[in-house]
């Protein structure tokens, strides 16, 4: 039974799997980015991040632990001298997986496993409960009632009385201007 067993076997026995993890983690530290399958990347990512954490510690015991796993003094030197100092302020999350599509031949999903390059900026964590949003009520203005007073306008002169009823009639008919309103040259 495999109760409480985590991790993928990757079709290899334990020694072969351990060698694969060591080689992939070493290649990631040495080159900064490797191209591999999704399953292998997900399996080696926590191991590579653990090696970077050892590099951040920087003591002799951490160097010996990294050498025991990576089995290459050159890679361990690069880990402690170049890679780990880049991540001194970052509390984990040193790498990322970027999908690049299927591999020609067997259509295995391929990814780039790469170290994060940009500088980490420590920020304050936001509160989980946001401030209540105040909703303003939109008050629509009442429609203005236009009252026509034709009796008051008709009183001054008969000519203006005849011209005034033509203007509201032209406005009611549509947007076309009346012939009387056109400017004369």
Which tens digit of pLDDT belongs to each residue from 126-168? 777 766 777 777 777 677 766 666 665 555 555 555 555 555 5
pLDDT at residue 148 in the model: 67
Architecture of domain 14-115: Alpha-Beta Complex (3.90)
Nearest to 44 by CA among 75, 69, 63: 69
What is the residue extent of each domain of the chain? 14-115, 150-174
Residues in contact with 103: Cβ distance below 8 Å, sequence separation at least 6, in sequence order: 37, 109, 110
Mean pLDDT of all residues in the chain? Answer: 84
For helices 38-57 and 60-70, angle between their N-to-C axes, nearest 10 degrees: 160
Is the pLDDT reported for residue 174 higher than 70? no
pTM reported for the whole predicted model: 0.63
| Sheet with 109-115, side-by-side order of all strands | 33-37, 109-115, 95-102
- % pLDDT > 90, the chain: 58
Mean pLDDT of the region 5-17: 92
Which tens digit of pLDDT belongs to each residue from 48-67? 999 999 999 999 999 999 99
Evaluate whether 33 touches 83 at the Cβ level (below 8 Å).
no
pLDDT at residue 152 in the model: 56
Which tens digit of pLDDT belongs to each residue from 20-58? 999 999 999 999 999 999 999 999 999 999 999 999 999
What is the pLDDT confidence band of residue 3, given thresholds at 50, 70 and 90? confident
């Amino acid at each position: 039974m495999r109760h409480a067993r985590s991790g993928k076997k990757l079709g290899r026995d334990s020694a072969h799997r351990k060698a694969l993890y060591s080689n992939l983690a070493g290649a990631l530290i040495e080159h900064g980015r490797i191209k591999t399958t999704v399953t292998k990347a997900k399996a080696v990512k926590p191991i590579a991040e653990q090696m970077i954490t050892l590099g951040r510690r920087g003591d002799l015991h951490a160097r010996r632990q990294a050498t025991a796993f990576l089995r290459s003094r050159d890679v361990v030197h690069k880990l402690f001298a170049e890679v780990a100092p880049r991540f001194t302020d970052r509390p984990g999350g040193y790498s990322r997986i970027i999908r690049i599509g299927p591999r020609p031949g067997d259509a295995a999903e391929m990814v780039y496993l790469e170290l994060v390059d940009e500088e980490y900026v420590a920020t304050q964590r936001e509160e989980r409960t946001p401030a209540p949003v105040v909703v303003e009520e939109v008050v629509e203005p009442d429609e203005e009632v236009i009252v026509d007073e034709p009796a008051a306008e008709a009183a001054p002169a008969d000519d203006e009385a005849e011209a005034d009823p033509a203007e509201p009639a032209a406005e009611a008919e549509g947007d076309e201007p009346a012939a009387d309103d056109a400017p004369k040259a």
